[in-house]
Amino acid sequence: MTENFIRAFDALEGESIMGTQLVEIYGDAVHSEAISQLPQRVDTITVAGKEYQASYYGEKSIADASELFRTWELWRLEGAFEDFSACPAWEALHHSV
């Protein structure tokens, strides 16, 4: 199926196609999700007494996969690798925020 898509897309020879056009033709068979490598926001947070720039990339529901958690959030602490690389994963998760 992937090869068929690639062949058909390449046949467009640079012509643009909008996702809405695909939905008009294929309806619910088309699934799309907006993705971005840019954070939605950047906050300053304190972890274990040190301030970090924290890039927030969004939240996703995991209620169908977990009885304990409803959602997960993706954050990246800028410049935190050296500070946390020696910590066991469980310990790192439980530093007070």
Q: Write the pLDDT tens digit of every residue in 8-58.
A: 878 877 777 777 778 788 888 887 766 667 899 999 999 889 999 999 998
Q: What pLDDT score was predicted for residue 91?
A: 58
Adjacency order of strands within the sheet including 71-77: 41-47, 50-61, 71-77
Give the residue among 52, 30, 31 at the shortest CA–CA distance from 43.
52
Q: What pLDDT score was predicted for residue 92?
A: 55
**Residue 21 belongs to what domain range?**
2-93
For the chain, the domain total comes to: 1
